[in-house]
Amino acid sequence: MKSRTFFPQVMQQFAGELKNDLNIEQMVVSKIDNISPEKLESLLHRTLAKELRFASIFGIGIGLLVGFIQMVILLLIG
């Protein structure tokens, strides 16, 4: 019976020590601080290229639509 209560206690203690030893937040902050701005920009651009392309095409489409609406309004008024 003691092993059933002993194992969870040992695992809980081990997990607590592991959490204290491995400060993941500090590791991530340290890694990001060590990346040069140029490399970070390159990485973001490579990662977000598809989304940026979609956003620019969407912006072009919206601008074109607004332009056509303005042209129609001007033709109807004038």
The region that residue 36 occupies, defined by phi over 0 for left and psi between -120 and 50 for alpha, beta otherwise, is beta
- The residue extents of the domains of the chain are 1-34
Buried/exposed 38-59: b ≥16 CB within 10 Å, e otherwise = eeeeeeeeeeeeeeeeeeeeee
Q: Cα separations (Å) of 72 from 59, 63, 64, 78? A: 20, 14, 12, 10
| pLDDT at residue 45, rounded to an integer | 86
Confidence of residue 24 (pLDDT cuts 50, 70, 90): confident
| pLDDT at residue 12, rounded to an integer | 77
Measured between its terminal Cα atoms, the distance across the chain in Å is 92
Q: What pTM was computed for the model?
A: 0.45
